[in-house]
Structure formats: C-alpha cells, structure tokens
Amino acid sequence: MELNVNGAAVYAYSGGKTFDAALPCVVFVHGAENDHSVWVLQSRYLAHHGFGVLALDLPGHGRSGGAPLASVEAIADWIPAVLDAAGVKAAALVGHSMGSLVAIECAARHPARVAKIALLGSAFPMKVSDELLTATRDDEPRAQDMVNIWSHAAIAHYPSNPGPGFWVMGEGLRLMQRQKPGVMHVDFAACNAYANGEAAAKEVKCPALMILGRRDVMTPPRAAKAIAAALPAVRTVEIAGSGHALMAEKPDEVLDSLRAFL
C-alpha cells in the first residue's frame, strides 16, 4: 500500500491483506541498503494472524520516494508520521540492524507511539569499519559483496527463503543492487554515527525482545550486551546457526520468537 507521509509517497507492504488500523499494528523497519521484502514471511504470517502489518520501504529505499534519511534520529522521528498517515496510535516496532537502532530511538523519543520493540541483528555502538564505510562511498559493488558475505553464516538454508529453491545469498546481493546509488553510504554512515543507543535504551519503557544470530559477524551477540543491559525489560533469543541475515537464514525461528513476543 502507498502512504502519504509528510507529502511524500511511502510504500508499505501490508502482508498480502488490506491494512486494518483497528488491529494491533506491527511496523517492520529494514536495515541498511534493504527494503520491505526482507520481512516477507514474518510480515505475511502476522498479517494473516490478527495483526495490521506495515513493512516499510524507508525513504529513498525500494518503492518509497525521496532521499534516504541521514540519521537514526531522523528515521525515528519519521516513524510517528508514518503511523499518523496509517491512522495508527501506537505500534510494535520490529527492526533489523539499522532498523533496530531506529526502534530503540523511536521508543525513547515517542513512548506513546511505541507499544513494544523487537531488535534483530542489533549492536551498539554499530561501528562500521573504515574499509567498509569507505567502500560504501567509493565502490558500492565491493561494499555490497562485503556486506553480503559477512551477513550469511551458511551457503545452504533449509527450507530457504522465501521458500525451497531460492538462493539466499543471491537474493541478498540483488536486493542491495536494486537500491539507488548513494543510499548505501547514507545508511552505513547513519549506523556508524549513531551515539545515543545506550542512553535511549535506558529511556525505553515498553517491553523489548532481542533476536541475535549466534554466528553473526556483522553484529555479534557480544556487541548487543550494552543495549540489553540498558533496556529495562528485555528478553534475548540467540538463534543457532544464523548470521546477520536472520529473517532469511532462519525464518521460522525468527517468526516463532516474534509471535511469542507480540
């Protein structure tokens, strides 16, 4: 579905059902250089099990227009405008990687609009190596390869995503290649510059869930400890055998954890 957010067209996948603002709302926030389709199975399932689902394409990503927002804080302040456009008072935020930082910051800044937060592949600080950050600016194809290789713990996935016969690593690369030039650097620079994670986490009042990949080398579980310690009410789930691309590598385990939490 298309939303008009502050005069700009924003795309949100509603899980294959017409969005109903009267249902408990779950907003999915993708990570850097991605779009809504990383959530396809989890968002579709929840949309068919009693939730109103908005899996967003952030500004400048996927089908959404405009330029990418340059900081985690800016995206966090944009989320309430999305909720306004959709007629939603409060929603659960489910964020992956950069999206997880957005969920923390948004919950801290706009507590009345955020009912729960689920953080996947999260870390704070989310420092990006100089080599990768430079590559996102100067050599996107190389940066995309680096991120794609580091994001996957295996070259075989059962039963793959979104189903048997799909090559998860190939999909990961192509999805990044679909984003507009320049988006990748804006996103990674935003992750790298975000300094308020621990302070924001302390301000969060709502329940929180962390879903971490035990074999994640982008945001390893040890890098999520500061956030987990700062959040007042958090449960942490570590998924064996998963790297950073949790939703694609272990779709059922991610869904089951989300379902139990939401």
Partner 1 sequence: MAGPRYPGFDTLALHAGQQPDPTTGARAVPIFQSTSFVFRDTDHAAALFNMERAGHVYSRISNPTVAVLEERMAALEGGVAGLATASGQAALHLGLATIAGAGCHVVASRSLYGGSHNLLHYTLRRFGIHTTFVNPRDLDAWRAAICPNTRVLYAETLGNPGLDVLDVPAVAEIAHAARLPLFLDCTFTTPWLMRPLDLGADLLMHSATKFLGGHGVAIGGVLVDGGRFDWEASGRFPELTEPYDGFHGMDFQEESTVAAFSLRARREGLRDFGACMAPATAFQILQGIETLGVRMERHVSNTRKVVEFLASNPAVASVSYPELPSHPDHALAKRLLPRGCGAVFTFEIRGGRPAGRKLIETLKVFSHLANVGDAKSLVIHPASTTHFRMDDDALRAAGIGPGTIRLSVGLEDPQDLMDDLSGALRASQKA
**Which residues touch 65 (CB under 8 Å, ≥6 apart)?**
8, 9, 10, 59
Q: Which is nearer to partner 1, 142 or 235 (CB)?
A: 142
67 sits near partner 1 (criterion: CB under 8 A)? no
Spatial CA neighbour of 183 closest among 42, 50, 76, 58: 58
The site that binds partner 1 (CB under 8 A) totals a number of residues, namely: 41
Selection from 162, 161, 116, 56 nearest residue 260 by Cα: 116
- Sorted by sequence, the CB contacts under 8 Å of residue 187 that are 6+ apart come out as 31, 32, 33, 68, 98, 136
> Interacting stretch for partner 1, rule CB under 8 A, among 34-42, 107-115, 198-206, 221-229?
34-42
Nearer to partner 1, 24 or 111 (CB): 24
Which CB sits closer to partner 1, 73 or 171?
171
* Choices 80-88, 107-115, 141-149, 225-233 (CB under 8 A): range interacting with partner 1: 141-149
Least Å from the CB of residue 45 to partner 1: 4
Q: Is 145 in the site for partner 1 (CB under 8 A)?
A: yes
CA distance 221 to 208: 16
178 lines the binding site for partner 1 (CB under 8 A): yes
Rounded Cα distance, 65 and 240, in Å: 37
- Phi then psi for 23, rounded to 5 degrees? -85, 160
Measured distance CA(189)–CA(202) in Å, rounded:
24
The alpha carbon of 189 is separated from its chain's Cα centroid by a whole number of angstroms, namely 16
87 touches partner 1 by CB under 8 A: no
Q: Is 127 in the site for partner 1 (CB under 8 A)?
A: no
Rounded least distance, CB 223 to partner 1, Å: 18
- The SS3 of residue 107 is helix
Minimum CB–partner distance for residue 96 and partner 1 (Å): 15
Cross-strand partners of 13: 55
Site membership for partner 1, residue 4 (CB under 8 A): no
Of 104 and 254, which CB lies nearer to partner 1 in the complex structure?
254
Q: Could you say whether residue 177 binds partner 1 (CB under 8 A)?
A: yes
Q: Does 181 bind partner 1 (CB under 8 A)?
A: no
The piece of 91-99, 113-121, 154-162, 229-237 that touches partner 1 (CB under 8 A) is 154-162
Q: What one-character-per-residue DSSP string does 10-77 give? A: EEEE-TTS---TTSPEEEEE--TT--GGGGHHHHHHHHTTT-EEEEE--TTSTT--SPPPSSHHHHHH
Q: Is the peptide bond before 159 cis (omega within 30 degrees of 0)?
A: yes
Part of the chain binding partner 1 (CB under 8 A), chosen from 66-74, 77-85, 116-124, 145-153: 145-153
Among 162, 182, 207, 220, interactor with partner 1 by CB under 8 A: 162
Which residues of the shown chain bind partner 1 in the complex (CB under 8 A)?
Answer: 13, 16, 35-37, 40-41, 44-45, 48, 62, 131, 142, 145-146, 149-150, 154-167, 169-171, 174-175, 177-178, 251-252, 255
